[in-house]
Amino acid sequence: MKSFARKTVWVTGAGRGIGRAVSLAFARAGARLVLTSRTPSELAAAAGEARAAGAGVIAAELDVRDLPGTRTLLSTAVKRFGGIDVLVNNASVLGPLSPLVEVGVADWEEVLAINLSAVFRLTREVLAASMLPRKRGCVINLSSSVGRKGRALWGPYAVSKFGLEGMTQVWAEECAASGVRFYAVNPNATRTRMRAEAYPEEDPAALKSPDSVAKALVALADAKCKAPSGAAVELDRETGCLKW
């Protein structure tokens, strides 16, 4: 029996990279999917593959900063699927890789809006509409190694991920008795477009694939997983195995 049969998973940034791999991994595990992305062609391709794997899919072109659009989509998902069991906050932008003193205010605000504030809003909406009333659920926030140890030139991206780590811990403490689990996951070096933008000289063949990250996240979301809520989870750089 598929481990996520009759469960619904919402994945942001589902059109490519880790988001797409996670979506397809949950589809193969039997989940129904709510997929969002700002890139319609990539989203359509990911949704098509998920449907071919047998998943029921709601796919919507959506900017994570769009709160009215988020609420409309959430209402549709709850009516069609009954609720959201797993939320994977994957969507993010890299922003400028430069000294903070050189970062423009508009760039700063865009990165924080997408990588942190939008995660807060979507998580709050999903918790209120589905997870807290049903007393179950799992929220996985994609973080980064630069969100755990500050590194020069990583600018607002690093700051946004530090905020994401802290927010994950706050949610976990506040919802400790709710039946909802929260994790911040550092996938470590993975073969994605964002990684290539950050490290253009790096050999992508030397990096683990998004599929290995996706497999680990499916295992983390499983109710049988022993990782404590609020954990800062790492994926091994080579194998992708979970550590906390």
Let me know: does 203 contact 161? Beta carbons within 8 Å: no
**183 classed as catalytic:** no
Of 25, 80, 24, nearest to 215 by C-alpha is: 25
Region of residue 92 (phi > 0: left; psi between -120 and 50: alpha; otherwise: beta): beta
Distance CA 67, CA 72 (A): 9
The CA-atom distances, in angstroms, between 1 and each of 4, 17, 29, 51, 87 are: 9, 27, 9, 18, 22
The CA distance from 37 to 41, in Å, is 10
Cα(11)–Cα(38) distance, integer angstroms: 12
What residue has token string 């449907």? 51
Phi, psi (degrees; rounded to nearest 5) at 196: -65, -35
Identified catalytic residue from 4, 81, 157, 171: 157
Are 185 and 143 spatial neighbours (Cβ–Cβ below 8 Å)?
A: yes
C-alpha–C-alpha distance, residues 223 and 219, integer Å: 9
Catalytic residues: 157
